[in-house]
Amino acid sequence: METIQPAKLSISSPPPRVKRKVKEITNPDQEHLISGKIQCYSPAILKNILFYNMIPSIREVEHLQAKLSFNDFDNIFVKGLKASFARMQKQRSVKFLSILIDCLRSFLRFSTSSEAKKLRVELKSALAYLSNAQITFKSNNPKRLNQITFKSKKDGISKGEGAYACGSHVISFLSQSFKGKRYNIRKILTEGVVRHRKLNHPTRKTLSNIEEILGPINPDLQMYNGWITEKANASSYPWITRFYSVLKKIKASTSGLLCCQNHSLMCRVLSDKKVELFDSEKSYAPSTKNNILQRVVHGSGFSKESKPPTYKVQTKDGAYHVRFANSYFAALFLSIHLKINYTWSVNTSIIFVPVKVIPSLN
């Protein structure tokens, strides 16, 4: 049996948020350059660039760049924006469109104005629409159970007892799927709570670290060597880029825990490079009913890749198990549906922990 790899990763509360200097959105009629910190753009300018014929013209790109101060051209978000604009000039692509939107959404975190907040929500809703359209399979959860709402009188599990057991729920999912059992969210959550109880926490509502979850109390699952982590400067990038940088490094036929902020979920890359995700909590994406992409994307040249979503994952659905054609679309989904906060990004790292099931103990 493979021994457990020593590690220091802990699924615990992030450090205090780093304070940032904030600027209001600039006046769209203001043409002169302002040196200093990052400038944000008016919602009108961004919407025109994003959604006018779906691809910005050269003039629109120049207008956007003119709004930047000289010092901002070395900023990582600006570089990402410029690269995305250049690529979108050449092709119509869900991938580049979503990168561009996420760059803008990241950029707007530096403003606290109400208009910036509204635009962030609209951009997030547009990304949710794109991400749901990339789901190729979704398991059924008819009673919309999740780790917080789940309870079982038969097993003595009270409502909310599994709220802090996301890592144990992932282990439960991996164990049951290895045995060839059909997806059953009630059985997964029940076993997850039972495993969490065995961790001997002072209270059951306690966060766990990886060494505990994959320690002696769960000998049927063990860690592989070779954790995948982000680069040191990754916290400066938009979330899509960050998730993709980790997911694309996962080898085929590998399963494990994907950890971000205080949460763990199951991530599996299949032999054909398709990606499966299981989250015992729920989606935190906004409603996509009235977002601007849904109104204009069809008939605009994106219809082939941006088909209406066959499957949708919404907040009310509860725990979800979904599959994607590749790592990029899984990263797009995670950047929207996970409960992640841009203001925490500087204190957050995304880590993938490979896990194997021990057949003799199942």
pLDDT in tens, 335-361: 999 988 766 666 788 999 999 998 766
| Mean pLDDT, residues 91-115 | 78
8 Å CB contact between 98 and 330 = no
pLDDT (tens digit, 9 = 90+) per residue, 10-64? Answer: 444 444 444 333 333 333 343 333 333 445 566 676 666 666 555 556 676 666 6
The confidence score (pLDDT) of residue 64 equals: 61
What's the confidence (pLDDT) of residue 20? 35
- Locus of tokens 């929207």: 336
Task: Give pLDDT tens digits for 192-233.
Answer: 999 999 887 766 667 788 888 888 889 999 888 789 999 877
Question: At 334, is the secondary structure helix, strand, or coil?
Answer: helix
Highest mean pLDDT among 78-82, 117-121, 219-223, 300-304: 219-223
Backbone angles phi, psi at 361, to 5 degrees: -105, 10
Q: Are 319 and 185 in contact (CB under 8 A)?
A: yes
Model pTM?
A: 0.82
pLDDT tops 70 at residue 313: yes
> Which pLDDT value is given to residue 23?
37
Cα 197 from Cα 157, distance rounded (Å): 10
Residue 68 has pLDDT above 60, yes or no: no
Domains of the chain (ranges, CATH numbers): 43-132 (no CATH), 135-283+318-361 (3.90.70.120)
